[in-house]
Amino acid sequence: MRIIKEKLNFSIVFHFHQPVDNFDHVIEYAYKNSYLPLIKTLTEHPKIKCGLHYTGSLLEWLLEKHPEYIDLIKELAKKGQIELLSGGFYEPIFAVIPDEDKLAQINMLKDFIKSNFGLETYGFWLAERVWEPHLPKILELAKLKYILIDDFHLRANGLTEEETFYPYITEEQGSKVTVVPINEKLRYLTPWKKVEESIEYLSKYPDNKGDRLITLIDDAEKMGVWPAGDRTTYDICFGQGYDGTPWLPKFFTKLEELDWLNIITINEYLKKFMPKGLVYMPTASYDKMSYWVLPTPARKRLENLVDKAKKGEIPYSNDILKFAKGGFWRGFFIKYHESNAMHKKMYYVRDKIKLVEGLFGLNREGKMIEAMKNAWREIYKSQCNDPYWHGQFGGVYFAFMRQSIYHHLIRAEKIIENIMRSYKSVITPSIRELDIDFCGRNEIIMETNKLNIYINCFHGGSIFEIDDKISCNNILNVFQRRKEAYHNENNNLPYDRWRKYAFMDHFTTDTIDFENLINDKYIECGNFVDNEYESSIEIQDDMIIAKLWRTGLIHKDDNAYDIEILKSIKLKENDSNFSVYYEIKNLSNEELAINYLTEFPFYLSGDIIKSKIFIDDNEYALYENNKFDTNQIKIKAFDKNIGLEIKFSEKNIILKYDIYTFNTTDGSKDMLYQGTSVVLIKPLEIGPNQSVKFHIIIKIEQL
């Protein structure tokens, strides 16, 4: 290596994060294999300075489970070896939560760090680096000096690689923040290549001005728990490395030996050097995120284009890699309606909190009772980003993560309802028409003190959410099976034609068996499923009722039959059950013989091994596909102490099957349980101008 007299500033930041409510054993594994060895290695290299960012919920976990680790961080802080960065306490995507919550989450983490470490914070960690141009206003209000942004954003704006070796100023309506670029090249070298390659890259860029700054920003979990072929990064970083030497200690040692490298925290750099100038950036995240968010056909086309450009197989490959840009993060709300449902429910429950604040003066700036603080804390927890998206780490496919969001939202809702009752205000039973999912059309929201039921009139008059307020679970937390860009066309995976909502109305001439049901391959003869129903709502004493109806067609043997379906969904205050009453009318002049079916999908627990089905006096495993001729089914999830009883007004053929998705996240291929579906199959023979009636009762039990 050549002798270099010039200087280069170098900053390292490690980001530590676990999703809210992640399993203890998962966090403990990350602690033992990444968090602890990383910090211990840092203590053994006193010349290495770096920034550390911990999300608030992880810091709380560390404080409770490993206070000795907190002491290690305090010691590093006393030596001036680290700076701690702020961010959102529960790691939300900042662009998609209200400004008031942005500021509250930042201040929560700043206050926590000040209280437990005695440190001021100046830098801001942006979750998943989802940048939108309005953010500087909040950061200035929070008195934060700088934000970390991928250099990809700047290069896509026309800057050269060398021009990204400096911080810049950006502003929104006069509010300023310093942008510190994250070096993409180093992020892909670390720790996937030999230490010498990272050092060689750095050695190219010192100059005699000495004001350049290259930043290495990495997930702490990457230093220990990520898969790496037939081993994990623990073996790379703290075991055999690539040459029998642990990668991370070797990297730190090599850095300490370089007299041309000034290892510095970002805050120290900004005290010494001025930003390079002004920059403006469009909405963006890191490159892969902009691919993942695209609809599957578009994502496949873009990833194919980028892959060819990386191989130099097409003209202008370098320009394509520099300027090709996919979608932006909010597209996940469109791509996955399950994500949108959680996000918009957050706004709905949050509006309830604001209403109570306004009615009783219990706002955050003035009088604040402890219960109100707890309600806001639940809202903030529900904003944790992981369950809202899908990519290498996004967890919208993980049912337990989605259930965590619903759990905190329902808890917040219960707190608010209890506050209102304490002020002698009646809040349930309630039924209203409201555009809760922001689709431009009203849904029906039914609420009692024990249950919430959300009805979508524009997707088959179906139920898309059932909240059990006792256990704080949404038992319709079931995921639609979709075609993803990484799916192999030859695998014949099952996909759903329609959303996995409850009580959609299907008609078919096919004989329904497990194969065509699980694979959603039967012929649909009606135009009721996923179509618009008319509706009305009413209250009768302590009973709330939603009525839905649609006149449509059934096509069979080249004939069309006029059919009317009437559904009444009834929910009573203080009951843990609701009823769905059906009347199917044949408005045609000929007899209709057809198979009717409707599904009730549910999710009680991810541990289906510990869940059972009971038919009469017989017990069956939940994970087995079953066919019954019965008028009653009971399901019990013993690990969650919650049960479900489904009663039919008469004996019917019932098929029960489990719903799985097939996913690739961190390179592994996972079969993920998304829920179980109970399917009513009812052969109908309806004479001209005749009708059939039946009903279903759903009861939720605490075991």
Catalytic positions, please? 128, 219
User: How does strand 543-556 pair with strand 231-232?
Assistant: unpaired
Alpha helices in 328-398 (DSSP H): 332-335, 337-360, 370-382
Rounded CA-CA distance 295/287 in Å is 16
Q: What is the DSSP letter of 512?
A: P
Alpha helices in 435-588 (DSSP H): 514-518
CB 551 within 8 A of CB 566: no
The total of other beta-carbon atoms located within 10 Å of residue 65's CB is 13
- Joined together, the tokens standing for residue 561 give 């039959």
What residues form DSSP beta bridges with 662? 671
- Joined together, the tokens standing for residue 32 give 């033992």
Q: What is each CA distance from 509 to 12, 241, 291, 563, 583, in whole angstroms? A: 64, 62, 41, 15, 20
Rounded CA-CA distance 417/398 in Å is 29
| Omega prior to 429 cis, within 30 of 0 | yes
- Lookup result for tokens 């490298």: 261
- Burial call 369-384: b when 16+ CB within 10 Å, e when fewer: eeebeebbbbbbbbbb
Rounded CA-CA distance 314/528 in Å is 48
Q: Is 277 left (phi over 0), alpha (psi -120 to 50) or beta?
A: left
Alpha helices in 118-245 (DSSP H): 135-141, 151-156, 184-189, 195-203, 233-238
CB 493 within 8 A of CB 672: no
What residues form DSSP beta bridges with 685? 593
CB 31 within 8 A of CB 236: no
Q: What are phi and psi of 401, to 5 degrees?
A: -70, -40
